[in-house]
Structure 1
Amino acid sequence: MASGTLLYAQSGGVTAVINASAAAVIAEARARKVKVLAARNGILGALREELIDTSKESAAAIRALAHTPGGAFGSCRVKLKSLEADRARYERLLAVLKAHDVRWFLYNGGNDSADTAWKVSQLAQAFDYPLTCIGVPKTVDNDLAVTDTCPGFGSAAKYTAVSVREAALDVAAMAETSTKVFVYEAMGRHAGWLAAAAGLAGQSPDDAPHIILFPERPYDEAHFLKQVKKTVDRVGWCVVVASEGIQHADGRFVADAGGGKDSFGHTQLGGVASYLAGRVKDQLGLKVHWTLPDYLQRSARHIASRTDWEQAQAVGKAAVQYALKGQNAVMPVIVRTSDAPYRWRIEAAPLAKVANHEKKFPPGFIRKDGYGITARARAYLQPLIRGEAYPPYGTDGLPKYVALKNVAVKKKLPAWEE
């Protein structure tokens, strides 16, 4: 039996399959007789010494966790600064780790979380504390460097493609006397992966989505409106998918919500679909409907991709294995070995190569006219949404999800204050 405790935490926006990674972490650690604590609400829970004893959960509950959306232990958007700038926080974190004999720290999140895990590994080295830090990948934006894809993206991509195809059938049915244009807003601050996934909904030029607006291309309103009119004239109706992060040529977000910035330094976005709908109505005089799926994109566990679900568990299991082998400051990443048939494996990548490196949507994946995806993009995206991983359903017709007990561990240190 390995000596010490493993601390797991979730960070950033949760996904439909982040709990599948959590379940795999706990199951693999249990198989190796290692106790797992979970921090309540990410790194905040570690700082506040609000830790959860996962050993109080039954095996059945952990199995059910694998098909439950949300973040079972809570998440947060808190980014630690450098060791020098955030020294008090780091010293407090180290005190908590020592108090609970934590020897392995697994942080499940995106780019900023990889950065935090990397900084914690540096902290342990600076204070000569035996700690192995592992980043566990998660994001719906698919913008993590090094890994071919990121758990969470495939399910959100599947939800997007399915939703756009279904909505398009609705618009087509109503176009003669009602809605001519439908605008769908996809998540994606700087990278257009999710907007691109909508392109899987159609095959031919006249299939929806007819127009995709990527954050990688400047928004040109006059050209956009011209494309909408041409599509309506040719097809009879038009479906537009716009990334929330599209920008004007001068770099201003089209959908800056004016809500300031979060602790990660991200501008609060939202409303690009309603804005575009208004412009189409005012400038072209067409009836428009729009939607902002927002959290629905990342919480839709009922339509999760099996590929995504399996990869989420694979990185969780590998994270524990790497940790117990002492592979410090690494992240289990997905390596694609074949498109057709789709093949992949898990490898360890240095956190230093992942943290603070954003993977943009490749130029070669965007159609020459800037409004759709190429065959290369389709070949990349298609395998990621394949397969179904439906949750079990109850007699009430709703999915059966689990709520963990989340029994708190007794605190050993004085209360933490900023």
Structure 2
Amino acid sequence: MDQERRYMNPYRALRNKYYRNFWVVQSISLIGTWIDTTLRGWVAVNMFAENKASGFIGLIAFLKGFPSVFFSPVAGVLIDWFGPKNILLYSQVIDAVNAFIMAYLVWKGLLSPYVLLALSLAMGITSKFYLPSRNTFISNIVPKELLPNALALHSMIFNVARMIGPTIAGFIVKSYGLQVGFIVNAISFVPLIVVLFFIPDNYSSSSNVSFKRFFLDLRDGIRYVIKNDVLSRTFIGLTMYSLFGMPFGMLMQAFVKSVVKYDILGYSLIMGMMGVGAFIGANVVASINSKRLITLREDFLLLIIGLSILAASFQPKLVPISAFIVGACQSSFFNITNSRTQLLSPSDMKGRTISLYSFINTGGSPTGTFVLGLLGNVLGVKNVYILSGIILLFFSFIRLINLVNSTKSRTTTF
């Protein structure tokens, strides 16, 4: 009876001890990650003149996402072979080392654009293993009926971190300097790495491991997604949002500097508003019954996001409000699509389907940011925002028209 209720306790997954422990230390790590993201973006935007900054930011984003072309599908097979906990642990250790290197180079004044690009590329590679392994790991430590709620709670802390991380970063820079912010991020990995050792790993490694089997398993994962109409439709929507919606936040440093005319504190507050919206959106989604959640149409969210991006483009003073709305819709969008992907995937295929999901998400958004960033150098960041907003509006409008027509067709047939 409880499972049939439309709305439920949004924090119910925290009753699971192992998930609760993981959730707490991930909260700490994610705050550090957003401090790092804010500071790297600000370092990048100040390395070049305004007419070249957006292109360089786009290049950094591209290097973070480009490895997904090679490593996301690989990560899915390795997760299904060796278990998500091991892959997750190794990726976090490497990211911690990357953060310490960044702190040292900034402290010594040795950071150059080329080194920043190299470190961004390294982060891009590890993220392709981190994201699918994290999501698959969560599905291993919570019951299936709690999985959508656990994913929503994880999205919640991600967006709380996005809300307070940039703000903390701004004050750290003003008070102590850039290198301290990077050190804080490096230290934030330690609790997560330690706790992972104490969470039981119930995964049994595959005995059928071979070079030939790798490509067969990879092919089977891709075929499964293509043949499943619901998942293929979900992944098409995810692709469009990753390419044209995610750059709204990823190019925000350049937009704030050249259009809104704010400093790093102003940028931090705007990103904080995006995080507040995402937190609220995650809470709403977390309270929805899992059976109802995966049937919701995310096209309405894409429509609202497109309108919000256009509002920010034509009225820069509305950027904080637009950021709040985009944050709420984005959080809801990813929770719906992520939960649907995991719940519709069999256990022996989950690592591969989630890795393909991550491939589109983490590969599409940097690619879109890179292309739109280069266009921003030519057309201006404001005009690029207008273009992306129009594309999202057109796509969501077409999808909603098709939904209405298909509904009418079924009604007429009946």
TM-score (norm 2): 0.27
| Larger strand share, 1 or 2 | 1
Q: Which has the larger radius of gyration?
A: 1
TM-score (norm 1): 0.27
